[in-house]
Chains A and B, each alone.
Chain A
Amino acid sequence: MSPKQNNTTVFFKALPKNIFSGFVVSLIALPLGLGLAMASDAPPISGVIAAVIGGILVSILGGSHVTISGPGNGLVGVLLGTILTLGIESAYAAIICSGALLLLLGFLRLGKLADFFPSSAIQGMLAAIGLIILGKQFHIMLAHRIKREDTVDYLFEIPFTINDAIHYDNTGLIYAALAGVISFLIMIFYSKLRNKYLQLIPAPMWIVILSIGFSYYFELVAHEANPIAINYMISGIPEFSEIISQIPTVDFSKIGTFPFWTSVLALTLIASIESLLSIKAVDKLDPEKRRSNVNKDLKALGLATIGSGFLGGLNVVTVIARSSVNVNNGGSNRSSNFFHAFFLVIFIVLFSTQLARIPLPALMAILVYTGYKLASPENIKKIFRIGKEQLIIFFVTLIVTLKIGLISGILSGVLITFIIHIVLNKSISLFARNWLKPNVLMFQEDGHYYISVKHFCSFLNFYKLKAKLDAVPENEDVIIDFSLCQFVDHTVMENLNNYQELFAKRGGHFEVLGLDLHDTDSEHPFALRRLLPVPNVIKNSLTRRQTTMEELANDYNLDYNAKKEKQTGFLNNFIFFRVKQINYIYNQTINKNNGLKLFDIEFSEGEFIAKEVVRSTMLHIKLNKQIPEFTLDREGFLEKVYAFAGFKDIPIKNHTDFSNRFYLLGEDTQAIQQFFTDEITHFFESNPYYHIESNGQDLLVFGRERLASIKEIKALYDFGKRLKAVIS
């Protein structure tokens, strides 16, 4: 346990950073809020209202630390149906009721409810939501508004819309469609461009800025009317004063009807699932490794949803993409959520007239991209790799969700999963007999926790295992033994993998035993397992770069290993990876004599639409002595911006050139200043720039955030060798 800190000072010290990241988040929240609301057929401002109310209430009452709350993409499908069947005024009533149910779930401590849904079924449901969003908005993105009965019809209509768009002869429509297509391209290619100035503003805000700039260009420079057709511009953004004076009426008259309550149930179900999944994912990104109080968060979200509903806003949920942007920009506590709401209010107060200059297709391009990400073929491939049976679950859920509705969809997913489990095990009694048995035993032996699981472990009874696992601090050692367990399903394997990552990040150890005898249908680590012996053979062929690296390794007398390696615990202590997920390292070149290790790494930053997968080549140097922890990088404009947000550059005396060109960060200023002797400082001054990080015992050195060429690898290796010589 850390010594008692003065919480107030810590809070105020972190405040500038949180204001900054709250600002960045508000940049992405504004276009998303407008777009999500319009996609749900609600007034555009309702999405922003949800984000503001959510940001304020959840930041004050919530139990998580770095999450951002606002209107969620998962809810678009349900809200669309709700507003269509009930009308907007009764829909507000349904939103309020679902908020009340969410509040109730929080009080009944039912945060664990989301554990009862099989992962593949949830994936299928999310993909269906993605398709609903994509199908509906794709047409608007190409300036081709249509109205169809069935959600599936929208999807089938896509080729016709594309065909129509190519043959437009109305300039207004051409410009509108162009705005949509360009915005869509921005969404796609934004994450591929790793320029830090460009990345300072999130892609959705670029779209907003560019389209507003475009509109001003025509008005102020060209003195023409905006060429985009007027009915494809955002309409109905009220002035701030109007929002307050024109709170919509809420119509509770349909409260006794059946469709009302199915809508409320669907809203609650999706809101809670989306929030719980997001909280779980964001907890993994939290640099301070805190645990979120899920039930407290549910209560806060419920209350915020009630408030939002009364003020004419949508459901408030925890959202993954915005939360990950928050973490990446240095958000460290709930105040960033508050400031994201605060800046949204400022935007609306100052710029509500400018927002009307955004073309609708541009905004909908953001949503099409969101929908595409939810239903991306990548996800399907991933599920297929886990096992064919998961694909069945996925598609059954997807199709039923599209054809009938969300609740039927998720229920059919649960049902088909259960049936598949019975078929795979050729036994119903395994489940029937043992479902309610307390099948998990935990005890402590010589300093570690031992957990044994009997019979079977699937989504049906995972909550029992989870309750035990949650009671273990993440910096302890845990062993889970499945040798008495006949069947472990994919949901459990995936969740265990999450725990494994969490424990590894927080300095604990999490080991799964007793699955060696179990059979799988695929080699994927999340595949479900049945008890049966099976041999497996893995083949591998090397690429050209890999063979060159192998030659290089032979040349330099190093060991080379091309295989993907998931054991990356040695990287967990580096600050660089605190808010990043390491997927794996590969192409390792190791020098056993001097502790130098070169490797390619794949890691990801952010989640969902803000997700960026990065591959890079890095050098890890094991030192023989303790040095202070620090991060050293090239000084640039961005660092000066960060400096305002509370990041401090440590100056080294008598080396103004070094201090000007390099950006040095660390906790222990004195020790770092002592460590940077003349010799070391000169070494850095006279060598190429690298990002260098020390975690006390090891150094991490890398150049750019992309894979290095063979020549660059040689240079990096040489730099590392000399750096080590200088330091020790």
Chain B
Amino acid sequence: MTIKPFKTIGIGIAFSPNLKANIFEAARLALFFDAKLIMIHIGAQSDDKSKTINSILSSFKKDNLKYEVVFKSGNPVAAILDTTNKKDIDLLIIGAAKRENLLKYYVGSIARKITRQAKCSLLLLINPSIDRIVCRHIVVNGLEDPKTEQTIATAFYVASKLKAEKITIVEEIKPNEIAVNVDDDKSLRHANIVRERISNRETSRINHIIEDLPQEHTNTIAIKSQPIFGTQGYSIGHYAQISRADLLVMNAPSKMTFWDRLFPHDIEHILTELPTDVLIIQ
């Protein structure tokens, strides 16, 4: 399996109070991954804006940060997606915000739209900060899905680049997989046996994936595998929150149908609540 390294990192920027924090985060990441940083701004180009950006980035000059600012106009979602394709961006950073009020909810909705359509990986930052907050614990999903292998591999790649200390691979066991209804003691025992079996099966599946990964990504990090029982896609966010993870790595959502949008589930719930920084792997 091939890991797609992040060679070009993009970030959508607006001239908001968060601007400096967002750019700092993106620039640091670009240095970690040894990538080129592309800043996309929706709006008219002006010298003022360029100057502000340059001055913010001046502290990164000594690290030889390669960067470029792109000015675009039009529908933000379309413009950002368009630039992503043209500039061959591997990782797009979006400074999202934890949901609190309507305004931020709107920002969240842009992020959601981009998530649905983007062809590159996506990083949603809930709390961009000027000083670096060390990423210690990464939670990654271990769903039974063709994309999972790629996601876990990328999570280890990111972890080794960011020098994280611990990765937890979460296998979500769907309630309907335990096809036993718990009514009394007998069915409860049966259900527990089924659960145990599924749990073991999942763990061994994950272990296979880890075995195939490059050694240099896996041998310096603590690996934990955790089966959880909850609703797929949502509960992993909940888990990331209570285990105080710094980054949650997820599969990109599969194709959305009309029903999926009407009844939000999976990644949709995580996007509305954003428990931690979320990295969505394409």
Q: In the complex, what residues of A have CB within 8 A of residue B160's CB? A: none
Q: CB-nearest residue of chain A relative to B263?
A: A436
Residue B226, interface by CB 8 Å: yes
Residue A507, interface by CB 8 Å: no
| B window 216-233: CB within 8 A of A | 226-231
Residue A725, interface by CB 8 Å: no
Contact B241 A484 (CB under 8 A): yes
Q: Report A513 CB to chain B, min CB distance, Å.
A: 11
Residue B119, interface by CB 8 Å: no
Contact B184 A292 (CB under 8 A): yes
| B window 174-200: CB within 8 A of A | 175, 181-185, 187-189, 191-192, 195
Q: In the complex, what residues of A have CB within 8 A of residue B238's CB? A: 439, 441, 452, 454, 484
| A window 277-322: CB within 8 A of B | 290-296
Q: CB-nearest residue of chain B relative to A442?
A: B229
Contact A445 B226 (CB under 8 A): yes
Contact B184 A452 (CB under 8 A): no
Residue B235, interface by CB 8 Å: yes
Q: Report B195 CB to chain A, min CB distance, Å.
A: 8
Which of A293, A438, A439 has the most chain B CB within a 10 Å cutoff?
Answer: A438
Residue of A63, A438, A473, A481 near B230 (CB, 8 A) is A438
Q: Report B69 CB to chain A, min CB distance, Å.
A: 38
Contact B231 A484 (CB under 8 A): no
Q: In the complex, what residues of A have CB within 8 A of residue B185's CB? A: 290-291
| A window 332-382: CB within 8 A of B | none
Q: CB-nearest residue of chain A relative to B265?
A: A438
Assuming the contacts A442-B228, A473-B192, asked whether A293 and B242 have C-beta atoms less than 8 A apart, the reply is no
Residue A470, interface by CB 8 Å: yes
Q: In the complex, what residues of A have CB within 8 A of residue B187's CB? A: 293
Residue of B184, B189, B241, B242 near A290 (CB, 8 A) is B184
Q: CB-nearest residue of chain B relative to A111?
A: B183
Contact B184 A293 (CB under 8 A): yes
Residue of A440, A443, A468 near B226 (CB, 8 A) is A443
Q: In the complex, what residues of B have CB within 8 A of residue A470's CB? A: 182, 188
Which of B189, B226, B231 has the most chain A CB within a 10 Å cutoff?
Answer: B231
Q: How far apart are the CA atoms of A468 and B181 in the complex, in Å?
A: 12
Q: Report A434 CB to chain B, min CB distance, Å.
A: 9
Residue B67, interface by CB 8 Å: no
Contact A468 B229 (CB under 8 A): yes
Residue B205, interface by CB 8 Å: no
Q: In the complex, what residues of B have CB within 8 A of residue A292's CB? A: 184
Q: In the complex, what residues of B have CB within 8 A of residue A524's CB? A: none
Residue A471, interface by CB 8 Å: yes
Residue B71, interface by CB 8 Å: no
Interface size on A, residues (CB 8 A): 28
Contact A438 B231 (CB under 8 A): yes
Q: CB-nearest residue of chain B relative to A470?
A: B182
Q: How far apart are the CA atoms of A437 and B189 in the complex, in Å?
A: 28
Residue of A1, A438, A445 near B189 (CB, 8 A) is A1
Q: CB-nearest residue of chain B relative to A64?
A: B184
| A window 434-476: CB within 8 A of B | 437-445, 452, 454, 467-468, 470-471, 473
Residue B269, interface by CB 8 Å: yes
Q: In the complex, what residues of B have CB within 8 A of residue A439's CB? A: 238
Contact B188 A440 (CB under 8 A): no
> Residues 498-510 of chain A: 1 if any B CB is under 8 Å from the residue's CB, otherwise 0?
0000000000000
Q: How far apart are the CA atoms of A439 and B184 in the complex, in Å?
A: 25
Contact B191 A437 (CB under 8 A): no
Contact A452 B242 (CB under 8 A): yes
Residue B239, interface by CB 8 Å: yes
Q: How far apart are the CA atoms of A641 and B19 in the complex, in Å?
A: 87
> Residues 57-82 of chain B: 1 if any A CB is under 8 Å from the residue's CB, otherwise 0?
00000000000000000000000000
Q: How far apart are the CA atoms of A295 and B181 in the complex, in Å?
A: 11
Residue B234, interface by CB 8 Å: yes
Q: CB-nearest residue of chain A relative to B184?
A: A293
Contact A484 B235 (CB under 8 A): no
Residue A109, interface by CB 8 Å: yes
Contact A440 B242 (CB under 8 A): no
Q: Report B98 CB to chain A, min CB distance, Å.
A: 13
Q: In the complex, what residues of B have CB within 8 A of residue A452's CB? A: 238, 242
Q: Report A108 CB to chain B, min CB distance, Å.
A: 12
Q: Report A291 CB to chain B, min CB distance, Å.
A: 5
Q: How far apart are the CA atoms of A470 and B175 in the complex, in Å?
A: 13
> Residues 48-84 of chain A: 1 if any B CB is under 8 Å from the residue's CB, otherwise 0?
0000000000000001000000000000000000000
Q: In the complex, what residues of B have CB within 8 A of residue A442's CB? A: 228-230
Q: In the complex, what residues of B have CB within 8 A of residue A443's CB? A: 226-230, 239
Q: How far apart are the CA atoms of A443 and B239 in the complex, in Å?
A: 9
Q: Report B111 CB to chain A, min CB distance, Å.
A: 18
Contact B181 A291 (CB under 8 A): no
Contact B184 A484 (CB under 8 A): no
Q: How far apart are the CA atoms of A468 and B195 in the complex, in Å?
A: 13
Contact A471 B182 (CB under 8 A): yes
Q: In the complex, what residues of A have CB within 8 A of residue B188's CB? A: 291, 470-471, 473
> Residues 70-111 of chain B: 1 if any A CB is under 8 Å from the residue's CB, otherwise 0?
000000000000000000000000000000000000000000
Q: In the complex, what residues of B have CB within 8 A of residue A293's CB? A: 183-184, 187
Residue of B184, B192, B241 near A63 (CB, 8 A) is B184
Q: Report B239 CB to chain A, min CB distance, Å.
A: 6
Q: CB-nearest residue of chain B relative to A471?
A: B182
Q: CB-nearest residue of chain B relative to A436?
A: B263
Contact A484 B227 (CB under 8 A): no
Contact A484 B192 (CB under 8 A): no
Contact A444 B192 (CB under 8 A): no
Contact B183 A63 (CB under 8 A): yes
| A window 400-443: CB within 8 A of B | 437-443
Q: CB-nearest residue of chain A relative to B99?
A: A433
Q: Report B52 CB to chain A, min CB distance, Å.
A: 37
Which of A437, A441, A442, A468 has the most chain B CB within a 10 Å cutoff?
Answer: A441
Contact B228 A441 (CB under 8 A): yes
Q: CB-nearest residue of chain B relative to A294?
A: B183
Q: In the complex, what residues of A have CB within 8 A of residue B226's CB? A: 443, 445
Contact B234 A437 (CB under 8 A): yes
Q: Report B174 CB to chain A, min CB distance, Å.
A: 11
| A window 523-542: CB within 8 A of B | none
Q: In the complex, what residues of A have CB within 8 A of residue B242's CB? A: 441, 452, 481, 484
Contact B183 A295 (CB under 8 A): yes
Q: In the complex, what residues of A have CB within 8 A of residue B175's CB? A: 467
Q: Report A485 CB to chain B, min CB distance, Å.
A: 11
Q: How far apart are the CA atoms of A470 and B269 in the complex, in Å?
A: 25
Q: How far apart are the CA atoms of A438 and B230 in the complex, in Å?
A: 8
Q: How far apart are the CA atoms of A295 and B235 in the complex, in Å?
A: 28
Contact B183 A296 (CB under 8 A): yes
Q: How far apart are the CA atoms of A135 and B241 in the complex, in Å?
A: 55
Q: Report B230 CB to chain A, min CB distance, Å.
A: 5
Q: How far apart are the CA atoms of A437 and B235 in the complex, in Å?
A: 10
Q: How far apart are the CA atoms of A470 and B195 in the complex, in Å?
A: 14
| A window 564-617: CB within 8 A of B | none
Q: CB-nearest residue of chain B relative to A449?
A: B229
Q: CB-nearest residue of chain B relative to A65?
A: B184
Q: In the complex, what residues of A have CB within 8 A of residue B234's CB? A: 437-438
Q: In the complex, what residues of A have CB within 8 A of residue B239's CB? A: 441, 443
Q: Report A91 CB to chain B, min CB distance, Å.
A: 32
Contact B227 A444 (CB under 8 A): yes
| B window 16-55: CB within 8 A of A | none
Which of B188, B226, B229 has the most chain A CB within a 10 Å cutoff?
Answer: B229
Contact B184 A441 (CB under 8 A): no
Q: Report B186 CB to chain A, min CB distance, Å.
A: 9
Q: How far apart are the CA atoms of A440 and B187 in the complex, in Å?
A: 22
13 A-B pairs within 8 Å (CB atoms) are namely: A63-B184, A290-B185, A293-B183, A438-B234, A441-B229, A441-B230, A441-B239, A441-B242, A471-B188, A473-B188, A473-B192, A481-B242, A484-B242
Given contacts A438-B234, A443-B227, A471-B188, 11 further A-B contacts (CB under 8 A): A291-B184, A291-B188, A293-B183, A439-B238, A442-B228, A470-B188, A471-B192, A471-B229, A473-B188, A473-B189, A484-B238
Closest 7 CB pairs of A and B: A438-B231, A443-B228, A293-B183, A293-B184, A441-B238, A441-B230, A441-B235
